[in-house]
Amino acid sequence: MSLPTTQANPTPRLIGLTGGIACGKSAVERVLADCGATVIDADQLARAVVAPGSEGLRQVIAAFGPDLLLPSGDLDRTALGTIVFADADARGRLNDILHPRIAAASQQAIAAAFAAAAPLVVYSAALLVEGGTHRGFDGLLVVTCSPVLQRARLATRDGLSQDEVDQRLAAQMPLAEKAAAATWLLHNDGSRDDLRAATCSLAQSWGLTCPTSQRPSP
């Protein structure tokens, strides 16, 4: 399940983690965190930069309309997703607002992790390859799965119609192109236990120590 490719640095300090939508990237994040890595999730940072009262939220509402503001003061991310996945121009406007803020927050989080002497820092983001950000890391881990399984998982996970699945997949780089950029590749067509074991094997090769319950069988 795990396929090493061009590993330039066998003991990386900072790796990128990406993958196709609904391929299992979040599950890999959790295993790496359990094994002692410091995981910085760009999606969590994206939520933080549009928190209630933030300048990021103000700009998003100004660009896309007050209907996206929930009574709680939070951004309606589901409604926003419907807009931007159906409209490339809208997606570009959103990226112009969010990406500089996420980039600044990412740099701060990575610097803080290094200052705390984290054994391995994992930066997880959907668009690492698209933006070329992965080239600044010690390596890139890509999580993929078969296209048929990806479609099924996405429809089930998010309750999407097939047209909505098509929109979301069309908005992303093809899996094969992301896989071509990988230093390490996890192809997640098996069970959760299979993915956990493969991720743990990689973590151990990077010098991390997985909990006993996650270690692969000899």
Task: Tell me: do 32 and 58 sit in the same domain.
Answer: no
Structural domain ending residue among the three candidates 77, 102, 118 = 118
pTM of the predicted model as reported, rounded to 2 decimal places: 0.86
Count of domains observed in the chain = 2
Distances, alpha carbon 8 to alpha carbons 15, 42, 100, 140, in Å: 12, 25, 29, 11
Cα separation, 180 vs 160, in Å, equals 28
Q: Which domain holds residue 195?
A: 1-37+120-218
Task: Tell me: do 161 and 177 sit in the same domain.
Answer: yes
Task: Tell me: do 32 and 52 sit in the same domain.
Answer: no
Chain CA centroid to CA 173, Å: 13
Task: Tell me: do 102 and 160 sit in the same domain.
Answer: no
**Local confidence band at 131 (pLDDT 50, 70, 90 cut-offs):** confident
Strand order in the sheet with 140-144: 2-4, 184-187, 140-144, 14-19, 121-124, 38-41
- Give the model confidence (pLDDT) of 165-200 as tens digits: 999 999 889 999 999 999 999 999 999 999 999 999
Task: Tell me: do 175 and 206 sit in the same domain.
Answer: yes
CATH number for the domain harbouring residue 194: 3.40.50.300
Structural domain ending residue among the three candidates 118, 143, 163 = 118
Residue 72 DSSP one-character state: T
Task: Tell me: do 215 and 127 sit in the same domain.
Answer: yes
- Give the model confidence (pLDDT) of 26-82 as tens digits: 999 999 999 999 999 999 999 999 999 999 999 999 999 999 999 999 999 999 999
Amino acid at 200: C
- Give the model confidence (pLDDT) of 17-28 as tens digits: 999 999 999 999
Cα separation, 74 vs 51, in Å, equals 7
